[in-house]
Amino acid sequence: MEVIVWLVLLSVLSVTLTQIIAEDVTSCDMIDSCTCEMSDSSGQINLRGLGVKNGSDSMFTIAGHDAWLYKYNPCYEFSFGFYYGLAVVQTTKTGGSVYDLGTQESAYFNSTAQGTISIHYTALDEKRNSRVLLICDAGVNTHTLKYVGELVITEYGFILETPCACPGLCDDGGILSPVGPMPSSSPGDINVNVHNPNQEKNAYMWMDVGGAMTALVFHDFFLVFFVALLVLGLKYAGTFAWDSSEPEQRGFGPSDVTGGPMPSSKINGDGIPDDSL
């Protein structure tokens, strides 16, 4: 009985710890495709000041390390080639090949157990999607987009470093309190962000899924521990039941008392046993 009680208590503890890890995640609740509200009441993340509103251009155009160009426009949709309603697009330098990597309408915010926040986009035909990891950089007035790579087939990763990824530092017009002179830039300027692709990809993957993996490891540890205790408990209970069982009872007859077979009796004519016969 005690073993069963301990197993129940350990299972409750495992579930409780899993819930605590999940509840400890600070999320950013989506308001629209470019703003979200932090669950810890630290403020809003607002990217509206980064977007180009003319519908035909993007704020960011960067050259990836895979010979493609990538265009990204937060908040406001734009058209390129035969595609419209875009947030992210992949194209050759000549524009001969163009692929929809995500529409503005499909945008949603995602938070991880490690506290990272990203925006996800899906193409209109749902064949490709993009993830833009938001990095809060309060010490600059610039907004930098980096292409990480094709994380898995048809899933493209980007990193956006900006003070507007910090809660409360930007509103619809942009940065609220610049830390210095604002840089001059034009939408559509091509920036080559090669850096170290492999290093950035590894960092991106860890920031995006590292917390979830940690929580999963803890959950699996408690699960394995619980199963091991269950097996040991059942084994102990089975051994105890076997040892405490009653020994098999045997009947004791005259043959057990005398140590030999009982003498045979003969029946007389009246049907009464007659030992004298």
List, in sequence order, every residue forming a beta bridge with 45; answer none if it has no partner.
Answer: 36
Distance CA 224, CA 227 (A): 5
For residue range 220-244, what is the model confidence (pLDDT) as tens digits? 565 666 666 666 766 666 665 555 5
* Residue 186 structure tokens: 């034009």
Residue spans per domain, the chain: 29-196
Q: What is the average pLDDT value for the chain, to the nearest integer?
A: 75
Quote the distance between the C-alpha of residue 113 and its chain's center: 8
Edge-to-edge order in the sheet of strand 129-136? 108-111, 117-122, 129-136, 155-162, 144-152
List, in sequence order, every residue forming a beta bridge with 61; answer none if it has no partner.
Answer: 71, 190
- Is a pLDDT exceeding 50 seen at residue 197? no
Helix (H) or strand (E) holding 36: strand 35-38
Q: What is the pLDDT of residue 8?
A: 52
Region of residue 174 (phi > 0: left; psi between -120 and 50: alpha; otherwise: beta): left
Distance CA 104, CA 120 (A): 10
- pTM check: above 0.85: no
8 Å CB contact between 167 and 42: yes
For residue range 127-141, what is the model confidence (pLDDT) as tens digits? 999 999 999 999 899
Specify the length of the chain in residues.
277
Distance CA 103, CA 107 (A): 7
CATH T-level assignment (fold) for domain 29-196: Cation-dependent Mannose-6-phosphate Receptor; Chain A (2.70.130)
- Is a pLDDT exceeding 70 seen at residue 146? yes
* Residue 5 structure tokens: 């009680």
SS3 assignment, position 150: strand
Q: What is the pLDDT of residue 151?
A: 84
Distances (CA, A) of 255 to 258, 260, 275: 5, 5, 17
pLDDT band at 28 (very low <50, low <70, confident <90, very high): very high
- Is a pLDDT exceeding 70 seen at residue 162? yes
